[in-house]
Amino acid sequence: MEKTQLLEQIKGKLIVSCQALEDEPLHGPHIMARMAMAADVGGAVAIRANGSDDISAIKHATKLPIIGLVKRVYENSHVYITPTKKEVDELLDVGVDVIALDATNRKRPNGDSLEEIIRYVKEKEQLILADISTVEEGLHALHLGADFISTTLSGYTDYTVREQPGPDVELVEKLVHATDAPIFAEGRIECPNDAKRMIQKGAHTVVVGSAITRPQHITKVFVDGMND
């Protein structure tokens, strides 16, 4: 999908992240495809998905645009969201509308640099969503050629550990004031009011995963709340 068309489709709307890792009860392409179908029926305007098998199944289940990533753990690096060119190639092979990748300042596997990864993706004429944890990382990713930035990794890097619950509204506000580039609000968005607040603060779109598509997380929220 062309960049302008995609931005128009997702503006002020909800993107649903349909992901389940191997150790989670709903793991499997068929289940994630059904989850994406449910999100589509509920009004989501795009899907964020992990891995070529899940993405392929989701593409057959819904016509919504897909933000694709590959989560893979490498030794000596904390970067696991589309960390190397190998994962980029997997996403190019299956076909996605946007490639999401870790754009934090952390050391990447194989000695690759963020600049090299972004340049490689852009050479393939592919849109890039940079997952970041700070304003500086977001601006750097845009400078290198990323099309959009997402607050996905706020609180998940050792220099952005958050004690307070809920989404990082402050980061969204700072990014909105620092750049005209589209900001995707993602991370710890637990309810409709959280999502609405992000849009009111200037986010172009909102991505929600766990609060919609991970029943073990949703159950734990209820259990913890009742125990409190």
Domains identified in the chain, total number: 1
Strands (E), the chain: 14-18, 46-50, 66-69, 98-102, 127-131, 148-150, 183-186, 205-208
Q: What is the mean pLDDT of residues 91-110?
A: 97
Which tens digit of pLDDT belongs to each residue from 140-168?
Answer: 999 999 999 999 999 999 999 877 789 99
Give the 3-state secondary structure of residue 204: coil
Per-residue pLDDT at 101:
98
* CA–CA distance, 106 with 157 (Å, rounded to integer): 8
Q: Flag the least confident range among 6-15, 42-51, 52-61, 155-164.
A: 155-164
Instruction: Measure the N-to-C terminal CA separation of the chain; round to a whole number of Å.
Output: 46
Per-residue pLDDT at 37: 98
Largest CA distance in the chain: 52
The whole-number pLDDT of residue 113 equals: 96
Q: What average pLDDT does this structure show over 187-214?
A: 97
CATH of the domain at 108: 3.20.20.70
- Residue numbers of the domain that contains 102: 3-227
Residue with tokens 């990447």: 108
The pTM for the full model equals 0.97
**Mean pLDDT to the nearest integer, 39-64:** 98
